[in-house]
Amino acid sequence: MRVLVTGGCGFIGSHLVETLKSLGYEVLVVDNLHTGTLDNIRGMDVHFLRRDCGALTAEEVSHIDGIVHLGIYSSSPMYRKDPSLVGKAVTDFLNMLALARTLDVRMVWASTSSIYNGNPLPWREDMPILVRDYYSEARYFMERLADLHYDWYKTETVGLRFFSVYGPREEAKGQFANLVSQFLWAMREGNPPIIYGDGTQKRDFTHVHDIVKGILRAFDSHVEHDVFNLGTGVSCSLNEVVDLING
């Protein structure tokens, strides 16, 4: 089976690609290398196209059997710095939906738990959506576009609302990396971690390997169209994270 992974040179994408290869899949990686690096997939024996998702054509990927779309700008500060990324993310997503429809393949894609901001913990799929920034607006808009594509064309898509993902290979993301990684990097250098606020704010920190397992389950499932939370269900404060790193 041949799977197209957008953002496959990135943090989450490269872990997914590695797992897919270990399971015997043929993988086509599409990445513009904005926050990804070829080092993340070095030695993995994959096909690679350096391309924006919005420029990808059906002719280039006509041989695929499924899509995992992770090649989406993935940090709220990115959108705050450049609000036009909302349009970029949505336009790219529309092209990926069109490819899935044209090629008659299923697509699993990355939404975000940030759309729940303002709701009490724990966050559940039946909670109201409280968009608070450009980033979550883009992802929520994409969820609604996927709904429309399924209603009109029966394009099979499963959106996954990732909870705060951490793990190896985030270095290329720099300042946009998960707080767990940023804390760890600072403390390895003997520097105190930078915490905004009193550190009591909580996140559902989810290891990238668990995220990959969730993506694969969604990809292999019989669910035609839906959106699911993907996290541990357990929240941890920033202060607790620092204490854990300190051992």
Q: What is the pLDDT of residues 19-61, one digit of tens each?
A: 999 999 999 999 999 989 999 999 999 999 999 999 999 999 9
| 241 compared with 6, residue with greater pLDDT | 6
Which has the closest alpha carbon to 161: 187, 199, 126, 190?
126
* Position 186 pLDDT exceeds 80: no
* Position 190 pLDDT exceeds 70: yes
Which has the closest alpha carbon to 64: 6, 2, 108, 106?
2
Residue 237: burial class (beta carbons within 10 Å; 0-12, 13-18, 19+): middle
Q: How confident is the model at residue 94 (pLDDT cuts 50, 70, 90)?
A: very high
Segments of the chain assigned E as strands: 2-6, 26-31, 47-50, 66-69, 106-112, 157-162, 165-166, 202-203, 206-207, 225-230, 236-237
The full set of domains in the chain, from first to last, is 2-163+206-232 (3.40.50.720), 166-201+241-246 (no CATH)
Q: Please list, in sequence order, all residues whose beta carbon lies within 8 angstroms of the beta carbon of residue 81, skipping any fewer than 6 positions away.
A: none
| pTM for this model (two decimals) | 0.93
Question: Which residues have a catalytic role annotated?
Answer: 135
Confirm if 98 and 77 have CB atoms less than 8 A apart. Answer: no
- Determine the pLDDT at residue 101: 98
In sequence order, what are the beta bridge partners of 68? 5, 108
